[in-house]
């Protein structure tokens, strides 16, 4: 499908187009009842991002509440261990609530307040986006309802308790597989019914326009800081950058500032699960096909009848059948490359990073580490690779202990 030559860099701000499309991906595929709400949201967002008061307030909360800027950290022992390129980690794991998701939750909560919406709904899989949303709603005094699959609620009981502590109502979803996809359906149903006073804080660079664009923009700060920090530190841009890709929000935020720097190789890492066999993984570019899911046209894991395939990953945050449309677009243009990491490699690297660096990474972020380490080993010591550490692994230690047969 894609030509072998890298296409010339283009204006990264040119997309999405007015219809919310990134080339043939993206768009707005929702029931008529939501069209008005999405148009209203798009208009409010366009106005907000031009308003210096909104921009300054968001910046202030990102600093004071979330803990930005995050460090760009030289991983000295991991670098020694690999014997190749210098490895830097962008420390999104140091943010409040434990991952990059707070960047987007803050941006959207402030937008909701501007729009006069006092009720927030969200969906969550692993619970990280739910926790970030519950935190910002508590901070701004907004009512918060989080939809979560019944199976996920059981697997992530600690995050359910965290959300409830911060005043959110967590609603169990018992339809379908009882996981993230079903929670998204339920959140959309709620939004259709209550759209007047409710804002839906979608948690990744997914869904109908303007969400993929808006969520991307709220995470662009990751790449902006990275660029400044690596220039200050090394006096040049990195050779390669690696990020994990669930819906694609941490990755697109990290990459965006570098899209028109053709010498910087950008690599997204999907979840290879137990291996690339139907139902055993969540690598949309390994066997996925073009289709429409939950608002956007993109690569989706589906069977020949168009039914959504079962997915699996050791990390709940990467376990979703669709990928953000902007990633599909830049893959087609050969600007972002994609790879995958499997569960067993992830469990090994989770321990390696903890032991060598004193940093316990989120299982999601560990996918980027697995591939980043492989790349570093291929590169020379005078080269530089930056890996986005999208979150911390505290939430994952119980699961990993169980997998390693350690009783807690
Ligand atoms: C949710 C999550 C992800 C996956 O979401 P993206 O939108 O692809 O970034 C990755 N890492 C962490 C730590 C997460 O919590």
Average pLDDT over residues 387-395: 97
Residue ranges of E strands in 59-217: 72-74, 86-91, 119-124, 143-149, 169-173, 198-200
Residue 326 annotated as catalytic? no
Return the half-sphere exposure (C-beta side, CA atoms, 13 A cut-off) of residue 179.
14
Q: Is 365 in the pocket of ligand 1 (CB under 6 A)?
A: yes
| Position 74 pLDDT exceeds 80 | yes
Q: What is the pLDDT of residue 208?
A: 98
Ligand 1 and 248: CB distance under 6 A: yes
Q: Are 105 and 201 in contact (CB under 8 A)?
A: yes
Active-site choice (101, 178, 227, 297): 101
Q: Regarding predicted confidence, which is higher, 126 or 17?
A: 17
**pLDDT tens, position by position, 252-263:** 999 999 999 999
* Residue 405 structure tokens: 């047969």
Q: Is the pLDDT of residue 199 over 70?
A: yes
How many Cβ atoms sit within 10 Å of the Cβ of residue 158?
13
The whole-number pLDDT of residue 4 equals: 42
Select from 174, 173, 124 the least CA-distant residue to 144. 124
DSSP character string of 205-240: S-SSTTHHHHHHHHHHHHHHHHHHHHHHHHSS--SE
Those residues with Cβ within 8 angstroms of residue 60's Cβ, 6 or more apart along the chain or in another chain:
none
- Which atom of ligand 1 lies nearest, measured to the CA of 215? 7
Range 17-31 average pLDDT: 96
Average confidence (pLDDT) over 208-212: 98
244 lines ligand 1 (CB under 6 A): yes
> Does the pLDDT value for residue 113 go beyond 90?
yes
**Is 390 a catalytic site residue?**
yes
User: Which domains occur in the chain, in start order?
Assistant: 29-63+101-211 (3.40.50.1100), 67-98+219-404 (3.40.50.1100)
Q: Is 364 touching ligand 1 by the criterion CB < 6 Å?
A: yes
Nearest CA owner, ligand 1 atom 4? 246
Read off the pLDDT of residues 272-318 as tens digits, 9 standing for 90 and up: 999 999 999 999 999 999 999 999 999 999 998 989 999 999 998 99
Angle at 213 between CA 212 and CA 219, to 5 degrees: 90
Residue 73 dihedral angles phi and psi, to the nearest 5°: -110, 130
User: Mean pLDDT throughout 159-188?
Assistant: 95
pTM: 0.96
- pLDDT score for 9: 54
Q: Is 307 exposed, middle or buried (0-12, 13-18, 19+ CB in 10 A)?
A: exposed
List pLDDT tens digits, range 339-359: 999 999 999 999 999 999 999
Ligand 1 center to residue 382 CA distance, Å?
30
Q: What angle do CA 344, 347, 350 make, to 5 degrees?
A: 145
Q: What is the mean pLDDT of residues 32-37?
A: 93
Among protein residues, the one whose CA lies closest to atom 2 of ligand 1: 317
3-state SS record for 342-371: EHHHHHHHHHHHHHHHCCCECHHHHHHHHH
Q: Looking at residues 18-31, what average pLDDT do you find?
A: 96
ω into 88 cis (within 30 of 0): no
Mean pLDDT of the chain: 95
Cα-to-centroid distance, 246 and ligand 1 (Å) = 6
The pLDDT > 90 percentage for the chain reads: 93
Q: How confident is the model at residue 2 (pLDDT cuts 50, 70, 90)?
A: very low
Tell me if residue 123 is catalytic.
Answer: yes
Q: Specify the DSSP class assigned to residue 116.
A: T
Tens digits of residue pLDDT in 91-101: 999 999 999 99
Question: Rounded CA gap, 295 and 308, in Å?
Answer: 14
User: Which atom of ligand 1 has the smallest separation from the CA of 362?
Assistant: 13
Instruction: Inform me whether the pLDDT recorded for 197 exceeds 90.
Output: yes
């Amino acid at each position: 499908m894609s030509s072998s030559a890298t296409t010339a860099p283009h204006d990264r701000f040119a997309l999405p187009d007015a219809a919310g499309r990134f080339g043939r991906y993206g768009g707005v595929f929702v029931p008529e009842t939501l069209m008005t709400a999405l148009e209203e949201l798009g208009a409010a967002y366009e106005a907000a991002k031009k308003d210096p008061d909104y921009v300054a307030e968001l910046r202030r909360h990102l600093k004071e509440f979330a803990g930005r800027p995050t460090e760009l950290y030289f991983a000295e022992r991991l670098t020694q261990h690999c014997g190749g390129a210098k490895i830097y980690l962008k420390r999104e794991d140091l943010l409040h609530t434990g991952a990059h998701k707070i960047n987007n939750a803050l941006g959207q909560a402030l937008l909701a307040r501007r729009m006069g919406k006092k009720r927030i709904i969200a969906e969550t899989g692993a619970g990280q986006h739910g926790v970030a949303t519950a935190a910002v709603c508590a901070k701004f005094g907004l009512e918060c309802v989080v939809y979560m699959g019944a199976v996920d609620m059981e697997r992530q009981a600690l995050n359910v308790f965290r959300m409830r502590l911060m005043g959110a109502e967590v609603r169990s979803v018992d339809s379908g597989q009882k996981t993230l996809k079903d929670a998204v359906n339920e959140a959309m149903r709620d939004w259709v019914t209550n759209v007047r006073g409710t804002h839906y804080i979608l948690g990744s660079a997914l869904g109908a326009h303007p969400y993929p664009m808006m969520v991307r923009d709220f995470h662009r700060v990751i790449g902006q800081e990275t660029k400044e920090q690596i220039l200050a530190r090394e006096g040049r841009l990195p050779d390669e950058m690696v990020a994990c890709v669930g819906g694609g929000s941490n990755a697109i935020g990290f990459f965006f500032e570098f899209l028109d720097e053709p010498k910087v190789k950008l690599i997204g890492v999907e979840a290879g699960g137990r291996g690339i066999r139907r139902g055993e993984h969540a690598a949309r570019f390994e066997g996925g096909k073009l289709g429409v899911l939950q608002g956007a046209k993109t690569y989706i894991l589906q069977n020949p009848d168009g039914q959504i395939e079962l997915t699996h990953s050791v990390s709940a945050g990467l376990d979703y059948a669709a990928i953000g449309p902007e990633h599909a677009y830049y893959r087609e243009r050969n600007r972002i490359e994609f790879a995958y990491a499997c569960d067993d490699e992830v469990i090994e690297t989770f321990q390696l990073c903890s032991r060598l660096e004193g940093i316990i990474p989120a299982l999601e972020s560990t996918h980027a580490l697995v591939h980043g380490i492989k790349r570093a080993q291929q590169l020379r010591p005078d080269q530089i690779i930056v890996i986005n550490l999208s979150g911390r692994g505290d939430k994952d230690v119980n699961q990993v202990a169980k997998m390693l047969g350690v009783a807690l």
